[in-house]
Amino acid sequence: MAISRIELGFEERIGLTQANVTVFSSNTNRRHDISILNARPKTKNAPIIVLLHGVYGSHWVWQSLGKADEVYRKQRAEGLSEFVLVMPSDGGVVEGTAYMSLTNGENYERWIVEDVIAATREVVANVTDKSPVYLCGLSMGGFGALRLGCKYANKVAAVSAHSSITRLEDLAHFTDAQKVLYPDFDSEEASILYWAKKHKTMLPPIRLDCGKSDVLFEANLNLVQGFDEADIPHSFDAFDGAHEWSYWQQHLGDSLQFFDQHTLENKNA
């Protein structure tokens, strides 16, 4: 069993129930935390949005710094479909795991695509194996969303990424983490474009955006160029802004709208 010994608590946040979850993962041999917003959905087979954080962060940052509850509540009032927002820790090792397997054998890729989803299904009624899974992330979390969305294309309904790290080398802008931590640092395994090309015929819808003043803007343009040259379907938006929470607060709503569009299309199909 990949997950066990779940500790669970609920709290009310102005009409939205939040679940605070601690779960043991055999994929990492560690305990990890997950915050789940709208943890008592009314929708059958409720779709989930997994929000992946950047370096230094943890499960709480999308809520406290990104104001995810405020953005979601406002858009719900304007007609957004119901979603469950799932905000896991990346694993808490060094300054960021990049949501990958590390040299020590701890697998933070499987923590996200297996354990976080399984834990959400276990603790949230109306989230089932038929619930669509959307991936969204910022910075290192953008890398995680794009790479995992392309690698596990058959498990992901759509991907949206903000201000993304596009290669593990981009981590050097923010951390002193040594490449020796990542056994696949220089391999195709770590490449977003590799997985996009490999699974081209089955990729989920992909969007990404980046601020024009972001240190990662050129890297994002390079990735987009790679998508274009490989005829990988995607959309890209360049906005004013930098690598900062005010930008992500502003544009999280774009991801919610993107996922809502695909939720409605699937309902009408």
Residue 26, burial from CB neighbour count under 10 angstroms (0-12, 13-18, 19+):
middle
Nearest to 90 by CA among 29, 49, 42, 144: 144
Q: Name the percent of the chain lying above pLDDT 90.
A: 82
What pLDDT, on a 0 to 100 scale, did the predictor assign at position 8? 61
Backbone angles phi, psi at 13, to 5 degrees: -125, 80
3-state secondary structure of 208: strand
DSSP-based three-state secondary structure for 3: strand
Beta-bridge partners for 30: 25
Q: What is the pLDDT of residue 78?
A: 96
Categorize the per-residue pLDDT at 93 as very low, low, confident or very high, splitting at 50, 70 and 90: confident
Query: Residue 121 has what pLDDT?
Result: 95
Read off the pTM.
0.94
- The token pair at 243 is 């690598």
For the cut 60, the answer to whether the pLDDT of residue 269 exceeds it is no
The per-residue pLDDT for 103 is 87
6 falls in which pLDDT band (50, 70, 90)?
low
Question: What is the predicted pLDDT for the residue at 114?
Answer: 96
The Cα–Cα gap between 202 and 150 comes to 9
- Given a cut of 80, whether residue 109 has pLDDT beyond it is yes
pLDDT, average across residues 238-247:
98
Q: Write down the pLDDT at residue 43.
A: 95
Tokens 């709290």 belong to residue: 11
Q: Which of 137, 187, 135 is nearest to 159 (CA)?
A: 135
Specify the higher pLDDT residue, 180 or 22.
Answer: 22
Tell me: pLDDT of 1 over 50. no
> What is the structure's pLDDT at 119?
95
Highest mean pLDDT among 90-94, 105-109, 185-189: 105-109
Lowest model confidence (mean pLDDT) among 105-119, 164-178, 197-211: 164-178
pLDDT of 202 strictly over 90: yes
How many degrees, rounded to 5, is the angle at CA 214 between CA 210 and CA 220? 45
pLDDT of 175: 87
- Average pLDDT rounded to a whole number, residues 210-228: 98
What CA–CA distance (Å, rounded) separates 90 from 32? Answer: 8
Only one residue has tokens 């119901």, namely 82
Q: Average pLDDT over the chain, rounded to whole?
A: 93
pLDDT tens, position by position, 143-172: 999 999 999 999 999 999 999 999 999 999
Quick: pLDDT tens for 38-54. Answer: 999 999 999 999 999 99
**Average pLDDT value for residue range 219-248:** 98
